[in-house]
Structure 1
Amino acid sequence: MTLVQLEYITALHSLKHFGKAAEQCHITQPSLSMQVQKLEEELGVQVFVRTNPVTTTDTGLIIIEQAKRILAEAERMKQMIDQEKGLAGGNLKIGIIPTLAPYLLPLFIQAFIKAHPKVRLSVHELMTENIVRQLKNGSLDAGIMATPLKIAELKEELLFHEKFVAYVSRKEKLFNKKFILPDDIDVNKMWLLEEGHCLRTQVMNLCALQKDASIEKHFDYAAGSIETLKRFVEKNDGITLLPELATFDMSPAKKNMLRYFRNATPVREISIVTLKTFTKTRLISILKDSIVENLPPQLSADMDSTDITIY
């Protein structure tokens, strides 16, 4: 029995297809089939039923769970050795939410790659629900997302707090104010992201958003990106709320449309999220340091808690 054989059977159990498992493991299908059969012969039990899709036997399920534990411990040992040697290498698969990706990734990616050439970083832009699911099934190593999630299996490491800023059309009365309060916002003038974006939920919570059903609207639109929200405000009327990172590259004219909140500033909490059992802790620590080191000075994990409200 080898660690490679254990990797093969866990891949086959997950993908339920010999061809797909072989492709994931970077070997030929006959080679994978032969190694799986050798392991079954050595153990004296059948792990898989060769159906389409492949199914795992009851005994096989027990073996798969133990194989996952063994592989996790083997990975932990490698990480410990690398840490002793002062090395950082390997694969790191990251999920990041769409309202963060275009603004945060360019700040640190090049610096990270240059500083750690032995790390192969794979980044996927996904909604929160998909990141959580893929963390749980092992498709992702970590997520960069808004927290708290309050999910027992997950560990959250704070990166920074990001302010919410109102982006106000010049046609709105609110444009004439220097600072605003959540109660100043006319919720029926709000442009929102479509369902599924955590930013939509945060904005709705901030504004206690319940649109007035008595006001007839002839056009209702849920945007797919922050850039679309900005364009609607610029070209039409209305208001939207932006995370602060989305405002840094604006022209002076567009920054003149920003309105900041008075008193307890609404913010979102951004963290690196992993499974509590995740073993590549050194890589996560290096990634976290790289992100924090390259953040604009306006962003901080150490804001005075009396001056912010997390949504």
Structure 2
Amino acid sequence: MTLTQLSYIVAVDKYRHFATAAQKIFITQPTLSMQIQKLEDELGVLIFDRSKSPVVPTAIGEQIIEQAKVILSGSKHIEDMVSVKDKELSGTFRVGIIPTIAPYLVPLFLKPFTLKHPNVKLIFEEALTSEVLDGLHEDHFDVGIIATSTSQHIHEQELFLEPFLGYLSNGHDFATKDKLCIDDLYSQELWLLNEGHCFRDQTIKLCKQTNDKIKNNNVTFESGNLETLKRLVEQDFGITLMPYLAMQDHDTRCANGVIKEFMDPVPTRKIRLVYSREFLKQNVVSAFAEAIKESLPEELKNKKEELVVE
């Protein structure tokens, strides 16, 4: 019995499909199947009922999988304790990061971090907040970068406060205003991300909207991508809200849209680094958080807390 075999049965239990599990952990399906078969032969039991689709654990298989999770977590805890003593940072560091942060934040700190710590292999995966938290509990991710508060079972470190911005078409009624106020948004129908994105939930809380779908000029549309919402606004379709970093490289000279800041109190979201194990690669975690903070635009460093939307 090996830790690798235990990690394989945990993966199959998670995805309930041998091919999908193999793809997710970057091995071939024959290798996965062979190693699980070896483990079953060694134990003299069937861990999975392969006659069903999706595949499901047997009764004894469920107990084995739960114990495998405990063993794997313990083995990673030992690795974490040892890694803290290393003077030079090294190893693999898996990061789950939500889609409304990833494309705008990662390019800021990735190169400086990798140049300073060449022996650390960073693996990023975009995922919704719920998926990041699940991945932390399952040890799929080492850390997560999210924008909402978490439970007491998750350790978190504040990285920065990110203001909300308004983005509206040139022909919008608010285009001539110097700054927006929150009251402006109460009667507006905004383009929003689809369900599951925390930025959608935060926007709804901020704007006091309750409609499940967004309707503009007889068009119904939900998107999982902030860039799509920008393009809709530029086609003279109203208004949307954007996180600050999403608009940093946006050239409004080449776009039919207007960026508007909010007057005080400025609505913001709190970007956090989260992890589930207290001793998890603390030296890497510290260096990672430091690199992020150093890479931020000056206007986001030490920004005061005003109206944080959770």
Give the structure-2-normalised TM-score: 0.81
1:201-212 maps to which residues of 2 (within 5 A)? 201-210=201-210
2-side partners of 1:237 and 1:222: how far apart? Answer: 13
1:25, distance to aligned residue in structure 2 (A): 8.9
Shifted more, 29-38 versus 184-193: the winner is 29-38
Distance apart, 1:107 and its partner CA: 0.8
1:309 matched to 2:304? The reply is no
In the superposition, relative to structure 1, how do residues 51 and 169 fare at CA in structure 2: closer, same or farther (>3 Å)? closer
The alignment covers a number of residue pairs equal to 296
Cα distance, 1:6 vs structure 2: 3.6
Corresponding position: 1:11 with 2:8:
yes
Q: Do residues 87 (structure 1) and 88 (structure 2) align?
A: yes
Q: Percent identity?
A: 32
SS in 1 for 2:220: coil
Matched-pair contact (CA < 8 Å) for 2:163–2:268:
yes
Matches of 1:113 and 1:280 in 2, distance apart? Answer: 17
Amino acid at match of 2:269: R
Q: Offset of 1:158 from its aligned partner?
A: 1.1
**Cα offsets for 1:52-108 (capped at 9, x unmatched):** 1473554x6556555544443443333333332312222222221111111111111
Q: Is it true that 1:190 corresponds to 2:187 in the alignment?
A: no
Structure 1 unaligned regions, length at least 5: 41-45
SS at match of 1:177: coil
| Stretch deviating more after TM superposition (260-269 or 109-118) | 109-118
* Deviating more after overlay: 284-293 vs 17-26: 17-26
Task: Check whether the contact 1:247–1:255 (CA below 8 A) recurs between aligned residues.
Answer: no
For residues 276 and 286 of structure 2, what CA distance do their matches in structure 1 show? 14
Unaligned runs of 5+ in 2: none
CA distance in 2, matches of 1:62, 1:157: 35
1:211-267 per-position Cα deviation (integer Å, ceiling 9, x unaligned): 6x9x99522222332112112222214111111001111225359822211111100
Output the CA distance in 1 between the equivalents of 2:20 and 2:176.
Answer: 59
SS at match of 1:270: strand
Letter in 2 for 1:245: L
**Counterpart residue identity of residue 250, structure 2:** M
| Deviates most, 181-190 or 156-165 | 181-190
Separation in 1 of the partners of 2:169 and 2:57?
57
Are 1:22 and 1:32, in contact at CA under 8 Å, matched by a contact in 2? Answer: no
Match of 2:246 in 1: 246
Alpha-carbon distance, 1:32 to partner: 5.8
Correspondence for 1:43 = none
> How well do the aligned residues superpose, as a CA RMSD in angstroms?
3.2
Distance in 2 between residues matched to 1:35 and 1:235, nearest whole Å: 58
Map 1:164-243 to 2 at 5 A.
164-185=164-185, 187-210=187-210, 217-243=217-243
**In structure 1, what is the Cα distance between the partners aligned to 2:19 and 2:225?**
37
DSSP 3-state at the match of 1:131: helix
Q: Is the 8 A contact 1:193 1:199 kept in 2?
A: yes
Q: Which has the larger radius of gyration?
A: 1
* Structure 1 residues 304 and 47: alpha-carbon distance in aligned structure 2, compared to 1, 3 A threshold: farther
Q: Counterpart amino acid of 1:118?
A: N
Native 8 Å contact 1:97 1:128 kept in 2: yes
